[in-house]
Structure formats: C-alpha cells, structure tokens
C-alpha cells in the first residue's frame, strides 16, 4: 500500500501527461489490435478456402425474388428450388452433389443461438480446427432422443465435452420443447464456419464464412423431422452453395455442366475467388496496417520519452527518500513501477478485451464483424507491451541510476 502510494506520487508530478499518455496508449493499442484481428480474419478465410477447396470448386448463387420467397406458403422454398435444379443437374455426367448450408435459430440457457445443419460431405470438406473433441464423433444417432453437435463460440465454454444440453427450437421468440444435444466437439477461434449468405459481382473467401455462436449439427432426417415437428418454418436454406465438377468427366462433359450451372446460377470459379481473395488480402494489409503501426510508433516513443521525463522530475524526491532510508533497489522498484503503470494499464485493458471478446460477442454486447481474436492476439499484445514498456523501464532506470543521491545533493548545494 505504501509503495503504491509512492508510485502514485511518482506519476502525480505530471498528472496531465500521465493521463494523456495512458489514454492514448490504450486507444492506439486497441485500434492496432482490432485492425490486426480484422486483417488476420481475411487472411484466415483465404487460407481455409485454399486449404479445403480444390481448383474444380464453384460457388453458386441462386437468383430469386425475395418477395416471392416471403409470400410462399412452402416451409423452405429455396431448398425446394435448389433440390429441383439439382435433380436436373444430376443428369449431367460431371455432376457432383451441391453442398448446401441450412440453419435454424434455437434457444439455449435463455439466449438465442444460431445452429448450422451440414451434411456429411460439408463436414468432410471443412474439418475446421477444434479446441476439443473430434469431427468423427459428429454422427447420426440411431434414435432422435439425443443429437450430436459441435459447439462454436463462448456460449458453451462452461459445458464439458460429452455433456448433454437442451436447446429449444425458437418460434416467435419462444423456445419450444427441448432437443437434447450431446457436445462432441468445440470449435477453435475464430469460430468461423461455412456460411453462404453473401454473394455479389465479386466474391472473396471471407464471403463464404461467418461467425457462429451456437451449434453445428449433422444433417439427418430425424433431426429435420424433430425441428419441423416444432416449427415447420424454422429451417432456412441459403440460396448459395458450393459444388465441384467430377474430375474424371471429359472436357466436353465438364463444359456442358458448367454451362448448365451458369444458366441457373451466378457462378464464381475457384480461380476467380482465389484471385480476388489474394487481392483483398494484399489490399487489406497495404491499406489498413500502416496507420495503426505509425500511431503505435508515435505512442511508444511518447511512452519512452515520458519515462525519462518522469524520472527526471522525481530524481530530487528520490534523493530525499534515500536520505530517509530508502535503498536504491527500492527506489528503482518505485521508478520501474511508475513507468510500467503508464503502459501496463493499456496493455491489461487490451488483453482483457481480447480474452473476453468472444464472451461479449456471444452475449450480444459487442460485435465487431469478421475479426480473429485468439491466443496469438494476446501474444502479440504481450510482445508489444514487453518491447515498449520494457524499453521505457530500462531507459528510465538507466537515467535514474546515472544520478546518485549524493550528486544530486551537490547539485542542489
């Protein structure tokens, strides 16, 4: 307590400088963290796209009239349309199944969660990194009393692997009767899963993924029936999907099939998506990284300078402390503590932000779209802190130790 008082006294010599510095450092570090997280996410989705997709992959978008879909009395009109087209596609030799993405909203522990339904091929195509468990365990059970699922997001942090939880199908904001779910795996950060809700003239890899705070189910008739029994409008199928071309088909067969796809959908090839994704990554790195780096340089320099300033301002007082029985070691500790405080506040706030972001996002309190915060972010923040604060403390101590108390007395005399 006494030492803390002396450290506060160290900083009180120039209160406004300390406040400006702490505030600026915290803000700039936060901007840098969010920018790096955003760029890392774009890079991550590009890498995942390249890793898990072959060059004969196509991203197809169904063009439909939203009004027509809204007014339809069918449960899932988009799925019906896609199924109809897929049946026609099956006549082509180069046809491969459409990998569709379906989702529904459920309620878990009083909070709305999103749930994805993937078929087996989708799960095999995208075996994303799990922090716990295994994709192998995600299987179709023989009865509909318990369904296996992989959890995603901080919502299920407290749930042990293998536990059975209850989720309710959401109908008009109310949770209907429970579906028992056994958690067989937990997705690792950034909790990003195949989510084909976006299309456009230019498609990049990040369009094909979305953050999920919820559950991933394996598609089965039992599951669909269970959900439909509660609410026939619960399940939505995305109008966009992934498909490939049979590699063994002849060139002519492949061309014919591609023409069929293009006649029915807006089609983007693997090469187009990869090219645009690479351009986007380059652009993001080029456009977004320099400014936070510049700001971080300025503020780190300011921290370094302020440490020297504070030491110089407090040197006389420490000569008095020395006279009153404070050892040099203790004085150095007070000086180091004061300088560290200037940077540590910002660092701690940022580390806490990065650590708790997923929880805040799961609660709906904070949502920065498409960012990647994980242990690497904490490591980067720690490294920046170590370098900037470490250098400031070192420089401050060098200045402090250069002036012995007796020299200060002589100067005063």
Partner 1 sequence: MKLLKLIFSRIYYNFYSNKLVFVLFALGCFVCAVSFTYLYGNTMPSKIMPAKDSNINYFSFNFNNGESLSELISKDVFTSELVNDVRFYHNLTDAELPPELNNEAAPSFKLGTGMFSKDHMFQEMGRVEFTEEENNNAENVIILPQDYNMLTKQVGESINVCGQTFKIIGFHSGWNQMLIPQNTMLKINSAINSVELYTNKGLSRAKSEDFISEFKSDFFDATVSSSPIEMYDAADSQNPQIMFLLSVVYMISVASFMFLMKYMMDKSRRENIIYSIVGAKKKKVILILLAESSVVITVFSIFAVLVHFLFYDSFFSHINTESGITYNINDYLLITVFMIVLSLLTSIPFVVSYMKNSLVENKIKYSE
Partner 2 sequence: MIKVENLIKTYKLGKDLFYALDDVSLTVDDGELVAICGTSGAGKSTLLNILGCLDKADSGKYYLDDVDVFSLKDSKTAKLRNKKIGFVLQDFSLINQKKVDFNVMLPMYFDNTPGKQMKIKADKALKAVGLEDQKNKKANQLSGGQRQRVAIARAIVNDPSVVLADEPTGALDSKTSQSIMELFKELNKKGITVIIVTHDKEIASYCNRQIEIKDGKIIFDSKK
At closest approach, how far in Å is the CB of 75 from partner 1?
Answer: 21
Assess contact for 185 and 151: CB atoms under 8 A. Answer: yes
Q: Which does 295 bind (CB under 5 to 8 A by kind): partner 2, partner 1, none?
A: partner 1
- Beta pairing class for 209-211 and 174-187: unpaired
Q: Please report, as residue ranges, which positions from 199 to 218 form the binding site for partner 1 (by CB under 8 A).
A: 201-202
Piece of 162-170, 235-243, 258-266, 358-366 that binds partner 1 (CB under 8 A): 258-266
Q: Which does 6 bind (CB under 5 to 8 A by kind): partner 2, partner 1, none?
A: partner 2
The 3 state secondary structure assigned to 77-145 is: HHHHHHHHHHHHHCCCCCCCCCECCEEEEEEECCEEEEEEEECHHHHHHCCCCEEEECHHHCCCCCCCC
Tell whether residue 384 is a contact of partner 1 (CB under 8 A): no
Q: What is the DSSP letter of 286?
A: H
Distances (CA, A) of 189 to 78, 128, 154, 312, 314: 31, 10, 10, 45, 46
Tell whether residue 72 is a contact of partner 1 (CB under 8 A): no
Among positions 328, 363, 368, 391, the unique one binding partner 2 when judged by CB under 8 A = 328
Assess contact for 108 and 207: CB atoms under 8 A. Answer: no
Q: Enumerate residues 6+ apart whose C-beta is below 8 A from 406.
A: none
Tell whether residue 320 is a contact of partner 1 (CB under 8 A): no
Tell whether residue 322 is a contact of partner 2 (CB under 8 A): yes
Q: Which does 202 bind (CB under 5 to 8 A by kind): partner 2, partner 1, none?
A: partner 1
Q: Which does 1 bind (CB under 5 to 8 A by kind): partner 2, partner 1, none?
A: partner 2
Tell whether residue 84 is a contact of partner 1 (CB under 8 A): no
Among positions 52, 289, 317, 376, the unique one binding partner 2 when judged by CB under 8 A = 317
Distances (CA, A) of 379 to 55, 70, 260, 375, 383: 35, 47, 49, 6, 6
**Alpha carbons 272 and 339: distance in angstroms, whole number:** 52
Write each residue from 98 to 117 as x if it is in contact with partner 1 (CB under 8 A), else as -, in one continuous string: --------------------
**Alpha carbons 369 and 41: distance in angstroms, whole number:** 10
Tell whether residue 71 is a contact of partner 2 (CB under 8 A): no
CA angle 394, 398, 401 (to 5 degrees): 130
List the structure tokens of 128: 């994303």
Among positions 265, 322, 353, 357, the unique one binding partner 1 when judged by CB under 8 A = 265
- Beta pairing class for 192-194 and 209-211: antiparallel
**Alpha carbons 173 and 150: distance in angstroms, whole number:** 24
End-to-end CA distance of the chain: give it in Å, rounded.
33
Among positions 72, 327, 367, 369, the unique one binding partner 2 when judged by CB under 8 A = 327
Tell whether residue 226 is a contact of partner 2 (CB under 8 A): no
Piece of 191-199, 215-223, 284-292, 401-409 that binds partner 2 (CB under 8 A): 401-409
List the structure tokens of 146: 């318990």
Write each residue from 42 to 71 as x if it is in contact with partner 1 (CB under 8 A), else as -, in one continuous string: ---------------------x-x------
Q: Which does 9 bind (CB under 5 to 8 A by kind): partner 1, partner 2, none?
A: partner 2
Q: Please report, as residue ranges, which positions from 3 to 42 form the binding site for partner 2 (by CB under 8 A).
A: 5-6, 9
Among positions 41, 108, 207, 321, the unique one binding partner 2 when judged by CB under 8 A = 321
**Alpha carbons 202 and 45: distance in angstroms, whole number:** 16
Distances (CA, A) of 206 to 222, 278, 370: 32, 11, 8
Among positions 290, 364, 382, 390, the unique one binding partner 1 when judged by CB under 8 A = 290
Q: Please report, as residue ranges, which positions from 14 to 43 form the binding site for partner 1 (by CB under 8 A).
A: 14, 17, 20-21, 24
Given the rule CB under 8 A, which residues bind partner 1? 14, 17, 20-21, 24, 63, 65, 201-202, 262-267, 286-288, 290-291, 294-295, 297-299, 301-302, 304-306, 308-309, 312-313, 399
Given the rule CB under 8 A, which residues bind partner 2? 1-2, 5-6, 9, 317, 319-330, 405-406, 409, 412-413
């Amino acid at each position: 307590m006494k030492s803390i008082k002396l450290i506060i006294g160290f900083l009180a010599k120039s209160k406004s400088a300390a406040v400006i510095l702490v505030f600026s450092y915290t803000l700039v570090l936060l901007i840098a963290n969010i920018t790096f997280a955003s760029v890392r996410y774009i890079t991550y989705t590009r890498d995942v796209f390249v890793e898990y997709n072959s060059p004969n992959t196509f991203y197809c978008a169904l063009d439909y009239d939203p009004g027509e879909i809204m007014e339809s009395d069918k449960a899932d009109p988009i799925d019906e349309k896609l199924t109809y087209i897929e049946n026609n596609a099956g006549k082509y030799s180069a046809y491969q199944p459409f990998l569709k993405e379906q989702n529904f909203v459920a309620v878990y522990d009083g909070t709305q969660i999103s749930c994805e339904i993937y078929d087996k091929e989708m799960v095999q195509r995208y075996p994303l990194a799990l922090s716990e468990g295994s994709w192998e365990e995600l299987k179709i059970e023989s009865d509909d009393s318990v369904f296996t699922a992989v959890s995603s997001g901080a919502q299920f942090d407290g749930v042990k692997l293998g536990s059975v939880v209850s989720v309710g199908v959401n109908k008009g904001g109310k949770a209907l009767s429970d579906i028992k779910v056994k958690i067989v795996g937990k997705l690792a950060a950034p909790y990003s899963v195949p989510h084909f809700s976006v299309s456009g003239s230019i498609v990049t890899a990040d369009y094909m993924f979305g953050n999920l705070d919820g559950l991933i189910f394996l598609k089965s008739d039992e599951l669909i029936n269970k959900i439909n029994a509660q609410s026939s409008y619960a399940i939505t199928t995305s109008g966009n999907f992934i498909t490939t071309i049979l590699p063994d088909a002849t060139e002519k067969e492949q061309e014919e099939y591609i023409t069929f796809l293009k006649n029915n959908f807006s089609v983007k090839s693997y090469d187009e998506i990869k090219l645009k994704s690479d351009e986007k990554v380059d652009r993001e790195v080029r456009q977004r990284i320099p400014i936070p780096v510049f700001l971080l340089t300025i503020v780190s320099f300011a921290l370094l300078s302020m440490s020297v300033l504070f030491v110089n301002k407090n040197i006389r007082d420490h000569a008095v402390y020395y006279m009153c029985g404070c050892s040099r070691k203790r004085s150095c500790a007070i000086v180091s503590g004061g300088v560290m405080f200037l940077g540590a506040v910002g660092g701690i706030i940022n580390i806490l932000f990065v650590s708790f972001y997923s929880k805040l996002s799961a609660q709906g309190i904070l949502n920065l779209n498409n960012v990647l915060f994980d242990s690497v972010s904490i490591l980067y923040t720690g490294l920046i802190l170590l370098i900037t604060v470490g250098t400031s403390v070192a420089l401050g101590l060098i200045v402090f130790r250069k002036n012995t108390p007796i020299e200060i007395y002589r100067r005063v005399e």
